[in-house]
Amino acid sequence: MRGARSVVALTGAGISVPSGIPDFRSPGTGLWEKVDPSEVAHIDAFRRDPVRFWAFYAQRFASLGEKQPNAAHRALVAMERHGVLDAVITQNVDMLHRKAGTRELIEVHGSIAGCTCPRCRAGVPVEEVRERLRVAHDGVPRCELCAAALKPDVVLFGEMLPAAELERARELCEGAEALLCIGSSLEVHPVAGLPALTHRGGGRVAIITRGPTPLDGVADVRLDGDVVAELQALSAGLGLA
């Protein structure tokens, strides 16, 4: 990282676990325990039955909205401020990198920062969504202009990733001399294909996450410890902490 011209971080659910946001791929945790997210948080479910969709998603907005970034998010902010990290690409929709202060941030799965009307494309910020949820008689926040049910600005199951964000993520990974994959099981495509771009371009890939990933064999560095402890140690090693 000290010698690299470009260093990029790619983060997944594991970086938010110390903030109290369970990874829904770990069984038996929280909100996702009773429902199948690939069914209830699916674009078809939203279109078919917005009342049921929002009965579930309103809880997600409420619970994620209260969460705060942890020392791992802050370590990445310190690296960016000191010029040793160029950008953070995240699969997370929880806004914790934003709250921590990361400037160059690519949210490839969108975020809970707001909603958009699928009919007239009007955008509604999260505070306003909460207010509309509070007063909605059927629990569905609606567009003020056309009354359509608002859709969260997150990539739902069955939806494509936003093309511009994905393209920017690919560019960053292709050009990275070092890619830090943090708290991601690297199983969900197309994000899981990003480390290969760095590897092919001659860059080094570090994987910092609990549990195995399909890319462990090609990683130049593999750290399996607690994500906060590992990033604090990395910060210290770079002389930032």
Q: Which of residues 112-131 bind Zn ion (CB under 5 A)?
A: 117, 119-120, 122
Phi, psi of 164 (to 5 degrees): -65, -45
Residues paired with residue 152 on neighbouring β-strands, in sequence order: 115
At position 88, the amino acid (one-letter code) is V
The one catalytic residue in 73, 97, 109, 199 is: 109
Specify the stretch interacting with Zn ion by CB under 5 A; choose among 64-72, 81-89, 140-148, 170-178: 140-148
Single out the residue of 145, 221, 229, 236 in contact with Zn ion (rule: CB under 5 A): 145
CB of 120 to Zn ion, least distance (A): 3
Does 218 participate in binding Zn ion (rule CB under 5 A)? no
Does 143 participate in binding Zn ion (rule CB under 5 A)? yes
Of 118 and 139, which has the nearer Cβ to Zn ion? 118
Q: Give CA–CA dist 150/29, Å, rounded.
A: 27
Residues paired with residue 125 on neighbouring β-strands, in sequence order: 114
Tokens of 127: 């505070």
CB of 115 to Zn ion, least distance (A): 10
Of 122 and 241, which has the nearer Cβ to Zn ion? 122
Is 65 in contact with 98 (CB distance < 8 Å)?
no
State how far the alpha carbon of 188 is from the alpha carbons of 3, 91, 157, 213, in Å.
Answer: 30, 9, 11, 11
CB of 150 to Zn ion, least distance (A): 8
Does 150 participate in binding Zn ion (rule CB under 5 A)? no
Which SS3 state, helix, strand or coil, does residue 205 take? strand
Place of tokens 């994620």: 64
- Residue 97 annotated as catalytic: no
Which SS3 state, helix, strand or coil, does residue 63 take? helix
Where in the sequence numbering do the catalytic residues fall?
Answer: 109
Query: Which residues contribute to the site for Zn ion (CB under 5 A)?
Result: 117, 119-120, 122, 143, 145-146, 148
